[in-house]
Amino acid sequence: MTVAGGYDFLIVSPAMVAYLIKKAKHAQTKEFIIPAETILPQGYARYLGCVLAAGMASYDADPALQPVYQLAADQIKQLSVDLQPCFQAADVCKQRAAVQFHIRTSEYFKRLLKRGRFIYVF
Protein backbone atom coordinates (compact mmCIF):
# COMPACT_ATOMS: atom_id res chain seq x y z
CA MET A 1 0.00 0.00 0.00
CA THR A 2 1.34 3.40 -0.92
CA VAL A 3 0.39 7.05 -0.56
CA ALA A 4 0.28 8.72 -3.97
CA GLY A 5 1.03 12.40 -4.42
CA GLY A 6 3.97 14.57 -3.61
CA TYR A 7 3.56 15.21 0.10
CA ASP A 8 6.46 16.85 1.91
CA PHE A 9 5.02 15.80 5.23
CA LEU A 10 3.23 12.48 5.74
CA ILE A 11 1.01 12.29 8.80
CA VAL A 12 -0.78 9.04 7.99
CA SER A 13 1.01 6.46 10.11
CA PRO A 14 1.10 2.67 9.72
CA ALA A 15 -1.18 2.37 12.78
CA MET A 16 -3.72 4.72 11.17
CA VAL A 17 -3.68 2.68 7.96
CA ALA A 18 -4.08 -0.58 9.89
CA TYR A 19 -7.12 0.84 11.69
CA LEU A 20 -8.66 2.05 8.41
CA ILE A 21 -8.16 -1.37 6.84
CA LYS A 22 -9.80 -3.06 9.83
CA LYS A 23 -12.80 -0.70 9.72
CA ALA A 24 -13.17 -1.03 5.94
CA LYS A 25 -13.00 -4.80 6.12
CA HIS A 26 -15.71 -5.08 8.76
CA ALA A 27 -17.99 -2.33 7.44
CA GLN A 28 -21.31 -3.58 6.08
CA THR A 29 -21.21 -0.98 3.30
CA LYS A 30 -18.47 0.89 1.46
CA GLU A 31 -19.05 3.93 3.67
CA PHE A 32 -18.19 4.36 7.31
CA ILE A 33 -17.61 7.20 9.75
CA ILE A 34 -14.95 7.23 12.43
CA PRO A 35 -14.18 9.84 15.07
CA ALA A 36 -11.09 11.80 14.08
CA GLU A 37 -9.56 11.19 17.51
CA THR A 38 -9.64 7.44 16.81
CA ILE A 39 -6.86 7.71 14.25
CA LEU A 40 -5.54 11.19 15.00
CA PRO A 41 -5.34 11.64 18.80
CA GLN A 42 -5.87 15.20 20.03
CA GLY A 43 -2.33 15.60 21.36
CA TYR A 44 -0.84 14.42 18.07
CA ALA A 45 -3.19 16.69 16.12
CA ARG A 46 -2.16 19.70 18.23
CA TYR A 47 1.50 18.85 17.73
CA LEU A 48 0.97 18.59 13.97
CA GLY A 49 -0.91 21.89 14.02
CA CYS A 50 2.13 23.52 15.58
CA VAL A 51 4.46 21.86 13.10
CA LEU A 52 2.34 22.99 10.16
CA ALA A 53 2.06 26.51 11.58
CA ALA A 54 5.83 26.50 12.32
CA GLY A 55 5.69 30.07 13.57
CA MET A 56 3.68 29.33 16.70
CA ALA A 57 5.32 30.37 19.93
CA SER A 58 4.09 27.53 22.11
CA TYR A 59 3.13 23.87 21.80
CA ASP A 60 0.38 24.52 24.32
CA ALA A 61 -1.31 26.96 21.99
CA ASP A 62 -4.49 25.58 20.51
CA PRO A 63 -4.01 26.08 16.77
CA ALA A 64 -6.88 25.59 14.38
CA LEU A 65 -6.80 21.86 13.77
CA GLN A 66 -8.83 21.92 10.55
CA PRO A 67 -5.69 21.97 8.34
CA VAL A 68 -4.35 18.90 10.18
CA TYR A 69 -7.59 16.97 9.75
CA GLN A 70 -7.81 18.02 6.11
CA LEU A 71 -4.23 16.89 5.45
CA ALA A 72 -4.99 13.51 7.03
CA ALA A 73 -8.14 13.18 4.88
CA ASP A 74 -6.20 14.12 1.74
CA GLN A 75 -3.53 11.54 2.48
CA ILE A 76 -6.12 8.85 3.27
CA LYS A 77 -7.70 9.55 -0.14
CA GLN A 78 -4.31 8.97 -1.76
CA LEU A 79 -3.78 5.49 -0.27
CA SER A 80 -3.59 2.89 -3.01
CA VAL A 81 -2.89 -0.78 -3.61
CA ASP A 82 -1.96 -2.20 -7.02
CA LEU A 83 -2.11 1.39 -8.30
CA GLN A 84 -5.83 1.44 -7.47
CA PRO A 85 -7.23 3.85 -4.86
CA CYS A 86 -8.28 2.29 -1.56
CA PHE A 87 -10.81 4.99 -0.76
CA GLN A 88 -13.07 6.98 -3.06
CA ALA A 89 -13.60 9.65 -0.44
CA ALA A 90 -12.25 10.75 2.90
CA ASP A 91 -13.95 13.89 4.13
CA VAL A 92 -13.73 15.81 7.36
CA CYS A 93 -17.08 16.52 8.97
CA LYS A 94 -18.19 17.84 12.32
CA GLN A 95 -20.98 16.15 14.25
CA ARG A 96 -21.92 18.27 17.24
CA ALA A 97 -18.55 19.00 18.87
CA ALA A 98 -16.73 15.95 17.47
CA VAL A 99 -14.68 15.96 14.29
CA GLN A 100 -15.11 12.80 12.22
CA PHE A 101 -13.84 11.30 9.00
CA HIS A 102 -16.49 10.13 6.54
CA ILE A 103 -14.78 7.49 4.42
CA ARG A 104 -15.96 5.62 1.33
CA THR A 105 -14.02 2.51 0.32
CA SER A 106 -13.39 1.93 -3.37
CA GLU A 107 -15.08 -1.05 -4.97
CA TYR A 108 -11.69 -2.59 -5.86
CA PHE A 109 -10.35 -2.35 -2.31
CA LYS A 110 -13.61 -3.60 -0.79
CA ARG A 111 -13.44 -6.67 -3.06
CA LEU A 112 -9.85 -7.32 -1.98
CA LEU A 113 -10.84 -7.13 1.66
CA LYS A 114 -13.87 -9.40 1.25
CA ARG A 115 -11.88 -12.02 -0.63
CA GLY A 116 -9.19 -11.99 2.05
CA ARG A 117 -6.58 -11.39 -0.64
CA PHE A 118 -5.20 -8.26 0.92
CA ILE A 119 -2.32 -8.80 3.29
CA TYR A 120 -1.09 -5.77 5.15
CA VAL A 121 2.52 -5.94 6.28
CA PHE A 122 4.85 -3.22 7.54
Lowest mean per-residue pLDDT among 9-13, 35-39, 78-82: 9-13
Task: Specify the pTM.
Answer: 0.68
Res. 121: pLDDT tops 60: no
Rounded to whole angstroms, the Cα distance separating 78 from 76 reads 5
pLDDT of the residue at 74? 92
Q: Is the C-alpha dihedral spanning 51, 53, 54, 57 positive or negative? A: negative
Residues 6+ apart with CB under 8 A from 47: 59
Rounded to whole angstroms, the Cα distance separating 21 from 86 reads 9
* pLDDT, tens only, 80-97: 888 899 999 999 888 777
Question: Exposed, middle or buried by CB within 10 Å (0-12, 13-18, 19+), for 87?
Answer: buried
Rounded to whole angstroms, the Cα distance separating 41 from 49 reads 12
